[in-house]
Chain A
Amino acid sequence: MDYRISDQLPGTGMPGDRPGDRVPGPRSEDALPASTTSAVKVVIVGGFGVGKTTLVGSVSEIRPLTTEETMTQAGVGVDDIAGVERKTETTVAMDFGRISINEQLVLYLFGTPGQERFWFLWNGLFEGALGALVLIDTRRLEVSFDVVGRLEDRGVPFVVVVNAFPEAPVHPMEDLRTALDLPESVPMVDCDARDRGSCRDALLTLMRYLHTLTTAPANAIPEPQ
């Protein structure tokens, strides 16, 4: 995968890239200040190949990292003829990156696939998340449709980010809004996931939207269920 290291610090000659006595952990320049007391997170969700990893890499101050989770799921009833509990093991990788907000606060961005079969990841992920960016590719709206519905059900505030692929058909935002059945209040923005400024603006759109939600209780999103 071709990550963009977006905040390349000048070579410090500091230890951390010594292959020999390598202790697992961040390079010294990637360490958070000791004063960091708390973290918040935002989830980037979208279908296959929509640009999640690219977006995380564009704004992250560290090279995006990957965490894997394995989940043993009880097989779903259909082929349980003998009542034997079937279990399937699924491993899913999530890319994530980090943005230090100030000396106390750090923001983590997690990219997660939008397809329904990965929704089991969402419990731990969305719990406590500020909100989500739903990345959509206009060539494949179906996944986005399910994601949007699911986030609405869970009461997760989100904005829709239309990733501009050159070969993708260009739709007026209002047509997309109708196709996704989005309320007027949900912001929609264009974005090039490869461009740091563009991704930052998408995140800012989310924060402003959250801010309007907190300050205007009339628009309050439904309580999570």
Chain B
Amino acid sequence: MSGAEEEGWDEGAPERLYVVTGGRSRAGTESVRLDLVTLIVSRDVPQPGMPPEQTALLRMCHYPLSVAEISAYLVLPVSTVAVLLTDLLADGRMEARAPIPAAALPDAELLKAVMHGLQNL
């Protein structure tokens, strides 16, 4: 993958790539746990001098987008996207909306909503 290497992990071991499941994206930085379907929304506009990846992220997440969609549109692995998002989330420039946790079993009301939505397809 191109473009992101110089940003993310010149100082990092390859294990850093596994932030999506590891829930931590950079040593020493507390970060939001990102799932493939965590929704990301911009809270700010790109600033001059920002790295192009951050600019692209802020632009594309004007409306909510899942981490998986961001990864697809940027053609970057999910793990790379998670690293790129860390600072933006930490700065409050972007907001992460966590997926509904399906504990052991999902909630009956949630399932009803999904069924209703599917029936309208």
A: residues with CB less than 8 A from B are: 23-26, 31-34, 36-41, 59, 65-72, 87, 94, 96, 98-102, 105-108, 110, 123-125, 127-131, 155, 157, 196, 200, 203-204, 207-208, 210-211, 213-215, 220-221, 223-224
B39 contact set on A, CB distance < 8 A: 32, 36-39, 106
Q: In the complex, which residues of chain B have a beta carbon less than 8 angstroms from the beta carbon of A26?
A: 60, 63, 65, 69, 73
The smallest beta-carbon distance between A9 and chain B, in angstroms, is 15
Other-chain residue from B15, B72, B77, B99 in contact with A38 (beta carbon distance below 8 A)? B99
Report B64-121 residues with CB < 8 Å from chain A CB: 64-66, 68-69, 71-75, 77-79, 97-102, 104-108, 110-119, 121
Which residues from chain B contact A127 at a C-beta distance below 8 Å? 21, 35
Which residue of chain A lies nearest to B121 when distances are taken between CB atoms in the complex? A200
Question: Could you tell me the dominant secondary structure of chain A's interface residues?
Answer: mixed
Contact B97–A38 (Cβ < 8 Å): yes
B38 located at the interface, meaning its Cβ lies under 8 Å from any Cβ of chain A in the complex: yes
* Residue contact B17 to A70, C-beta cutoff 8 Å: yes
Q: Which of B21, B60, B66, B119 contacts A124 (CB 8 A)?
A: B21
The count of residues in chain B whose C-beta lies closer than 8 Å to any C-beta of chain A is: 54
| Contact A39–B71 (Cβ < 8 Å) | no
Report B-chain residues with C-beta under 8 Å of the C-beta of A34: 41, 63-64
- For A110, the chain B residues whose CB sits under 8 A away are 36, 68
Give which listed residue, B41, B74, B105, B107, contacts A221 with CB less than 8 A: B105
Q: Can you name the residue of chain B whose Cβ is closest to the Cβ of A100? A: B117
Report A-chain residues with C-beta under 8 Å of the C-beta of B105.
Answer: 157, 210, 213-214, 220-221
CB-defined contacts of B41 to chain A, threshold 8 Å: 34
Q: Which residues of A contact B68 (CB under 8 A)?
A: 65, 67, 94, 96, 108, 110
Most chain A CB neighbours (cut-off 10 Å) among B65, B106, B108: B106
Question: Which residues of chain B are near A207, meaning CB under 8 Å?
Answer: 111, 114-115, 118
Q: Can you give 9 contacting A-B residue pairs, CB < 8 Å?
A: A25-B73, A39-B37, A71-B18, A98-B66, A101-B118, A102-B116, A105-B117, A124-B35, A207-B118
Contact B118 A204 (CB under 8 A): yes
Question: A40 to B100, Cβ gap below 8 A?
Answer: yes
- B77–A68 touching, CB < 8 Å: yes
Q: How far is the CB of A12 from chain B (nearest CB, A)?
A: 15
Which residues of A are found within 8 Å of B110, using beta-carbon distances? 40, 105
Give A33's nearest chain B residue, CB to CB.
Answer: B63
A102 and B113: CB pair below 8 A?
A: yes
**Smallest CB gap from A125: residue in B:** B36
A204 to B115, CA, bound (A): 6
Other than the given A38-B98, A87-B14, A220-B104, 13 more pairs (CB < 8 A) read: A31-B62, A32-B39, A34-B64, A65-B68, A70-B1, A72-B15, A101-B116, A106-B37, A108-B36, A125-B36, A204-B118, A211-B115, A224-B104
Return the 6 tightest CB-CB contacts between A and B, nearest first: A101-B117, A25-B60, A65-B72, A39-B37, A31-B63, A67-B71
CA distance A31 to B69 in the complex (A): 11
